[in-house]
Structure 1
Amino acid sequence: MRKTRHYFVTAPSLAVAFLCQAPAWGNDYFSNLMGIIEPRHSQVALSATDLTTGELIYQQNADTLLLPASTQKLLTAVAATAQLGNGFKFDTQVFSHFPIRHGKIAGDIYITFSGDPTLTTDNLRDLFKQLTDQGLYEVSGNIYLVGEPGEQTKAPGWVWDDLGICYAAPVSAFVINQNCIHGQLRPKMASNESQLSFASYLPVSLSTSAVFDKRKQGSFCELELSRLANNTFHLSGCHAGDKPINLAIAINDPALFASKMIEQLLKSSQIRVKGKVKVSSKRAKYHKVIASHSSEALPALVETMLLKSDNLIADSLFKAIGKSYFGEPANFSHGAKAVEQILTAAGVDLSHSQIVDGSGLSRYNLLTANQLSQVLMLIYEDKRFQGLIEQLPVAGISGTLRYKAHYNRAPLKQRVMAKTGSMQGVDNLAGFISLNQTGKALFVVLENGQSPKTKHDQIAPFSALFLQTLLDSAPLSAKEEPPLDTPIHQNESVKRQTEAK
């Protein structure tokens, strides 16, 4: 007879104990537990599969379409690996029809931008250094910055009040420093007025009329960001407190931002340009590359995307997938159709789903727990994608699960490798869990419609309660800690060494 087990989820001055006597993967066991741990005011969908036996452990509302949030990045990772390949890189290149003679180019040069989400001003300085190292000091014509025609920089369904925040920065062929500017809003001495601090060389206009409610006396106090034309921003409203606020503001116009940044970089590059810096969508023919910069290869980009839940990388790859698949200009529509067709061809049934972007930011995305489970099973079984497992955040160790409450301690710490998916009202998790020394399961937990108050008052995330239920219902050996030579620990040993460097 199976022993009675005690299951505790702790919170400040609160303990909840679950007692049960049930065989492993007993459906009644889960049904009884759901009656206790399932949130009352939100909608959940669940699916869990034993990877050792292939047995379906439990599912609930598994065919209900819900917002995936950043679990959508699992689809992007698979489609990018399948379509672009591990050798894929974003290239930023300088072209010229005329050779460098006597330190001059007697015509125009073209800088083609590919939507590299990791491109920085330092990378662009290096491009110009490559030119000066070849002896170039004068361009007699113009410098054309070449991007995509009729560019779509925001996906349908992005929430309007996210657009000024850097996690929703515009996805463009022109990306410099993540299309994000950083600064600080500080209170003035002996006054409630505010002042801004940000790098003076940035080609943006940022002003403030905001005030600080230093004694927190107001009943309502909230800051508001106005996004105006030509990368102009204004902060107004109120902030409760007397401490400075760090700002991370997404630019409005990537092409304008790029052209102004290039103008500034040229001034310090010792290259004189007689013409102007102009933005174009057409590349002149019969030109050769005279300088270039490449991003890291796809596996490194995907690892950052999954670990940090980087939206800009996700949507840049999403658009690149569409461009590669259809041979058409990069946009969200082509990316959506390409990802759907790639995954369908790989055996994932995406019937009734809706794919809009690669990051999961769009409120129009819709996926089921079963569909995400199929993607996870594809990752687990197909050798092309198995490397993605080790790029997932590890509970209590790395990425978005490093500090997540109840994942940074036993029993879930180091046992869970999964992609988080969080936005207002959404708290999802999809990935893999080590049940014991040899057993593993894949799982999807989707929770939509969660109010901020409910989230604040909860004992623990519902996903954590469900995964602890999986551990409690597995064979008793599941209580053992994963040995140090499991893939999870091997993977993290490498990561810690890399981070130490």
Structure 2
Amino acid sequence: MLDVATGEVLASKSATTPLIPASNTKTLTTLAVMNAFDGEERFATTVVQPEPGRIVIVGSGDPTLLSVPAKAGTYPRPATTQDLAARTAEALKQAGQTSVTLGFDATWFEEPGWNATWPANYRDQVTQLSALWVDEGKLPAGGRSRTPALDAAKTFAAQLTANGITVTGEPTPATGSGDEVARVESLPLHVLVETAMNRSNNSYTEVLGLQLARHVGQPTTFAGSVAAIRAELTELGVWDEGTVLHDASGLSRSNLVTANMLAKAMLLLDSQPHLSVILDGLPTAGVTGTLADRFTDDISSPARGVARAKTGTLSLVSSLAGTTITDDGRLVSFAFIINGPPDGWASKVWADQATGVVASCGCS
């Protein structure tokens, strides 16, 4: 536990022992991303025309791209291929073209899309990574696509057809070159980060890791993503000796980080305005998100509505890291990582109660 204003260590036990953090890896990834970017960047999905009668849809890693608009009143409202198809059809008709063949280009990332440390049964938790997908690669009939770029292109082809453009043949891989016909752009990066954290979305966070790798000149692979995250965290003074990362989302059971790292990360998020957008994506204890149904007993309840924290859960792994105001008005950051508990629910209750004790203490 750290004092956010001074950095003073208020309490510590085994804080530098590397342990499996589960989804709290996302805290480190998003911190690294926001440290490297301005936060206003957007990632475009474009349609280009290498030659008359031929168009190519090109992805540049918008993780939130949808096929159709989100329901009215929902937040956020990402770009859609429906909009892109309408714009493309209008431009083609103005050029006197009503029939095309369609290619797709997802080479913005080199990564073939599946981490070697993820078991096959995680395919319901994360999509095969791609620089081009719609609806996070989730299939209408259920499950997740293993060919998300191809499926996105097929969706786009159907939408072009609905807009009066005949698409001849099946979409094929292609190089995106030629004049731009139409484009849609992602939400600003800071909103993508907020959304990834709020939903604890594995696919979104892995794409953000690849975007970070590309931005800083690393290969757009899992190894490049991890190298980029390490470099940013080292610059911030957060990286601890013995830390091991294999992915950006925390699905890998081979990841090892320290509670000290997570507490330092949370301190930075609550003390630096540029990074504080990540806090906007954290649930409030007993109120929102993954913490809505927690902090219900007398010991943990002092943290209800006060603490904001990121959870992490895998089999035999539980973590909780965040910030809270203590009873005497002190802002502190905290992190708990529990590995190997025989009772997963009991470990969550323990972390909630520890947070409640911190919130109710006079720590001055």
Task: Please give the TM-score of this superposition, normalised by the length of structure 2.
Answer: 0.87
Residue 263 of structure 2 corresponds to residue 317 of structure 1 = no
Q: Which residue of 2 aligns with 1:258?
A: 152
Q: CA contact under 8 A between 2:63 and 2:136: conserved in structure 1?
A: yes
Q: Give the counterpart letter for 1:168 in structure 2.
A: V
- The structure where strand makes up a greater share of residues is 1
- Give ranges in structure 1 of 5+ residues lacking alignment: 1-47, 99-105, 183-197, 199-247, 477-501
Instruction: Give 2:115's aligned amino acid.
Output: A
Residue number among 83, 106, 114 corresponding to 1:147 in the alignment: 106
Letter of the 1:120 counterpart: L
Query: What does residue range 255-404 of structure 1 map to in structure 2 within 5 Å?
Result: 255-274=149-168, 276-280=170-174, 282-284=175-177, 287-326=178-217, 328=219, 330-404=220-294
Distance 1:342 1:55 in 2: 23
Task: Please give the alpha-carbon distance, in whole angstroms, between the structure 2 residues aligned to 1:121 and 1:406.
Answer: 39
- Shift, 1:252, TM fit: 2.1
- In structure 2, the partner of 1:66 is 19
Query: 1:410 & 1:470 partners in 2: Cα distance?
Result: 11
Does the C-alpha gap of structure 1 residues 366 and 52 become closer, same or farther in structure 2, counting only changes over 3 Å? same
Q: CA deviation at 1:135?
A: 5.3
Question: Contact conserved, 1:138 with 1:272, CA < 8 A, in 2?
Answer: no
Change (3 A) 1:150 1:326: closer
User: Secondary structure in 2 aligned to 1:126?
Assistant: helix
Give the deviation of 1:159 after TM superposition.
2.5
Q: Does 1:461 align with 2:354?
A: no
Residues 333 and 356, structure 1, Cα contact 8 Å, conserved in 2 = yes
| Structure 1 residues 118 and 390, CA gap change in structure 2 (3 angstroms) | closer
**Distance in 2, Cα, partners of 1:444 & 1:289:** 48
Preserved contact between residue 327 and residue 361 of structure 2 (Cα < 8 Å): no
> For residue 169 of structure 1, what is the amino acid of its counterpart?
T
> Which of 1 and 2 has greater Rg?
1
Letter in structure 1 aligned against 2:341:
Q
Tell me the distance in 2 between the aligned counterparts of 1:375 and 1:65. Answer: 15
SS at match of 2:11: strand
Could you tell me how far 1:289 is from its partner in structure 2?
1.8
**1:415 alignment partner, SS class:** coil
Q: Deviations over 1:90-128 (max 9, x none)?
A: 210011245xxxxxxx23212101222211112112111
Instruction: Pick from 68, 81, 92 the counterpart of residue 34 of structure 2.
Output: 81
Asked if 1:171 corresponds to 2:129, the answer is: yes
Q: TM-score, normalised by structure 1?
A: 0.65
Residue pair 1:78, 1:379 contacting (<8 A) in 2 also: yes
CA contact (8 A) 1:159 1:363 kept: no
- 2:297 and 2:37 mapped to 1: Cα distance? 33
The structure where helix makes up a greater share of residues is: 2
Q: What corresponds to 1:119 in structure 2?
A: 65
Count of paired positions:
349
- The AA in structure 2 aligned to 1:361 is L
CA distance in 2 between counterparts of 1:459 and 1:71 reads: 15
1:58 maps to amino acid: A
Offset, 1:459: 8.9
Following TM superposition, by how much is the alpha carbon of 1:348 offset from its aligned partner in structure 2, in angstroms?
A: 2.0
Distance 1:140 1:53, change over 3 A: closer
- The alignment partner of 2:150 has SS state of helix
Runs of 4+ in 1 over 6 A off after TM superposition: none
Q: CA separation in 1, counterparts of 2:92 and 2:217?
A: 40
Counterpart amino acid of residue 363 in structure 1: R
Per the alignment, do residues 429 and 108 of structure 1 end up closer, same or farther by CA in structure 2, a change over 3 Å counting? same
Query: What secondary structure is seen at the aligned counterpart in 1 of 2:158?
Result: helix
Cα distance in 2, alignment partners of residues 157 and 459 from structure 1 = 25
* Rounded Cα–Cα distance in structure 2 between residues aligned with 1:468 and 1:273: 60
CA distance in 1, matches of 2:176, 2:37: 23
Q: Once the 2 structures are TM-superposed, how far is the Cα of residue 265 of structure 1 from its aligned partner?
A: 2.6
In structure 1, distance between residues paired with 2:352 and 2:168: 62
Unaligned runs of 5+ residues in structure 2 are 69-79
Asked whether the 8 Å contact 1:91–1:113 carries over to 2, the reply is: yes
The amino acid of 1:85's aligned partner reads D
RMSD: 2.5
